[in-house]
Amino acid sequence: MFTPKYPTPDTAPLPVTTASSASAAAPVVQTPAPLAPVSNRPTVQLTAGSTLALVGGGTAVVLVVGAVLVSLLLAVAITGMSVAVVAVVLRSILNQERNR
């Protein structure tokens, strides 16, 4: 299943060449090269509907990923602000205890 599948080796015959120019009058027989094998892989054909579906799906993915990233950034910002408020309150409490 995971072994590679190699294509069959090229079986085109070698071209026929003449040894001397004296036999140039003799016809040279050339065999045509074999045709390339037809690929059995399916081709992708984009129609108007499938293109529209791809664009809509891509847009939806971008919007969802953007919303997730914005919500994560907002969560980090809110956490940072709350830690800052807690730090200010603790500093205020500690300064009041030192002044007494």
Report the chain's mean pLDDT, rounded to a whole number.
Answer: 84
Amino acid code (one letter) for 9: P
Q: What does pTM read for this prediction?
A: 0.47
C-alpha distance across the termini of the chain, in Å: 81
DSSP 38-98: PP-SPPP---HHHHHHHHHHHHHHHHHHHHHHHHHHHHHHHHHHHHHHHHHHHHHHHHHHH
List the chain domain ranges: 70-100
Closest CA to 31 of 47, 49, 43, 13: 13
Is residue 8 over pLDDT 90? no
pLDDT of residue 21: 54
pLDDT at 4 over 90: no
pLDDT single digits (tens) 55-73: 999 999 999 999 999 999 9
CB neighbour list of residue 16: distance below 8 Å, 6 or more residues apart: 28, 29, 30
